[in-house]
Structure 1
């Protein structure tokens, strides 16, 4: 999605994630089939969401941030 006005870092964040994906999965493993790649991507997604601590999220995992946002949205409704 396009960046908001005066917030070009959104594109940088997406580019950084692609770099993380390449450095931690795509450049270190060889996949014989598309199915192997698909399974590895799903496993990487799960690991990233549940275990990686992200500084811009207040040193929380993406799953923790998502759960907090759901709670806040339910409370606001």
Structure 2
């Protein structure tokens, strides 16, 4: 990563999270999400304020988590996948 980018991340208090060796799909998942975000929210729009950008991105994230059917999740939404994981995890913990 570029030095300037690393310094900015430290300033924001963000820790980098790298893809695992021999598991490139870990990076591919977030790259696909960013591509969809740009295609559906950013590209072709002119925002008047940073708050307008925040509102648009938050709406996309909410819609993505609730409605987006992801093939690798058995065509369940991220929210649905998390709910199934929680149910399974807590059932085994009890």
For 1:27, the equivalent position in structure 2 comes to 43
Residues paired across the two proteins, number: 77
Query: What does 1:6-45 correspond to in 2, within 5 Å?
Result: 6-45=22-61
Gaps of 5+ in 1: none
Matches of 2:66 and 2:27 in 1, distance apart?
Answer: 23
- Find the counterpart in structure 2 of residue 54 from structure 1: 70
Post-superposition shift, 1:30?
Answer: 1.7
Q: Could you say which structure has the greater relative contact order, defined with CA pairs below 8 angstroms and 6 or more residues apart?
A: 1
Unpaired runs of 5+ in structure 2? 1-16
Q: TM-score, normalised by structure 2?
A: 0.76
TM-score w.r.t. length of structure 1: 0.91
How well do the aligned residues superpose, as a CA RMSD in angstroms? 1.1
Which structure has the bigger radius of gyration?
Answer: 2
Moved over 3 A (4+): none
